[in-house]
Structure 1
Amino acid sequence: MKKTSLQTKPYMLNDGEQRFESLGVLVSIMASAEQTGGAFNLFNILLPLGYETPLHIHYAEDVAIHVLEGALDIFWGDEKQRAEVGSFFFQPRGTPHGFRVIGTAHARISYMTVPSGFDEFVIACGKPFNDLEAMMLEARFKIETLGSLPALDKEKK
C-alpha cells in the first residue's frame, strides 16, 4: 500500500464527478488513499439488477457496506442476510463474503475499506485484463476468489 500524506484541506465531491466503470458496476471514488492519508477509501457504487460478486476474501482491509437504494443478499461465512435500504454490513478482513443485487431494480451502496489501498484495485479493474492479469491483481491486493455465490433461492422474496 502506498503511503501518502494526510489530506490537509477539506474537499467536497458530488456523486458522479469521478464515476467510471469497473468490475461491471459504476463506481465513484469519494475518498481515495491520497485524500485520506491512507486511512480509508470510500466509494459510491451503482449496481445493476442481478449483479453479484464472487465469494471472496479481503486479507488487507475491512469492508463496510451501507445500502442506499435497492436490496442485496449478503453472504459471509456460512450465513446469508437480506440487506435493504438503510442496512449496514461490516465485514472484517479474512472472512469469505459476497453479495447479489435482488428485487426489481438496481442498488446503490456506500462502500468503505479500512485501511485504504482498495481504490488502486478498483481503478486497475476498470481497464481490460486477461485471466492471468486478474490473478496477479488479486495477489497484489491480497484478495482471494473462492467461487460463485450460492444459487438463488427458488422462492420469491
Structure 2
Amino acid sequence: MAATDQPDARPVYSVVGDRYVYLVTGRETAGACFVCEAFVPPGGGTPPHVHSREDELFYVVEGEFEFVVAGSPVRRTAGGSIFATRGIPHFFRNVGPGPGKMIITVTPAGLEDFFREFGRELDGPAAAPLPPDDDEIRKLLAAAPKYGIEILG
C-alpha cells in the first residue's frame, strides 16, 4: 500500500519550464506506477517524444491543453483525459490563457528518475518553475536514451 500524508515533503522538480510535484513514485508502488501533479504555464508543455517503456494517462484538473498523439490533435479541459500508449509519438501544450494543472499517471514507474536526472529540484509545491536553459536541455537530450525516450523535436 502506498500512502502520502506529508504533501509538502514530496519531491518537486522544474522540468522544461513546468512544475512536477511527485505524488506517488515507483519506490512506493514496487515499480507499478508514478503519479505526479503537473503545473504548466501558458504555452508550456513537452517537446514531441516517444516512450518505449511507459504508457501515460493525462487527466486535466484545470486549464486547456492540446495533446497531439500519433499526429492527431485533441483539446481537453477540466475533467478531460487522454491516454498515450508507449511507442506512439505525443506531446502536449497549455493553450489556455492561464496556468494549467494535470494529474499524470505513468505505468510502469521510472519516468520520475528521468525527471530527477535532468530537472531542477524546487523548494516545495508552491515554488515557481524555472525557465529551461541550455544545460537542462543538454541533460534532457543526454538522459533520454537511457530511459527509452526518443525526443523528436
TM-score where L is the length of structure 2: 0.83
- How far the C-alpha of 1:13 sits from its partner, in A, is 4.1
In 1: Cα distance, 2:148 partner to 2:113 partner: 12
Bigger relative contact order (CA 8 A; separation at least 6):
2
Match in the other structure for 1:126:
119
- Residues 20-77 of structure 1 show CA distances to partners (whole Å, capped at 9, x for unaligned) of 3222111110011101110000000100011131111011100000000101010011
Query: How far apart, in 2, do the equivalents of 1:16 and 1:23 lie?
Result: 22
Q: Secondary structure at the match of 1:119?
A: helix
Instruction: Write out the 4+ residue segments of structure 1 that deviate beyond 6 Å after TM superposition.
Output: none
Structure 2 segments unaligned to the other structure (5+ residues): 121-134
Is contact 1:48–1:105 with CA below 8 Å preserved after alignment? yes
Q: RMSD over aligned Cα, in angstroms?
A: 1.8
- Normalising to structure 1: TM-score of the pair? 0.81
How far apart, CA to CA, are the structure 2 residues paired with 1:84 and 1:129? 29
Overall identity of the aligned pairs, in %: 24
User: Which is greater in Rg?
Assistant: 1
Within the candidate set 9, 34, 55, 2:27 is matched to 34
Hey, what's the Cα distance between the residues in 2 that align with 1:104 and 1:10?
A: 34
Match of residue 143 from structure 1 = 149
Aligned residues: 139
Pair 1:44–1:13, CA change in 2 (3 A): farther
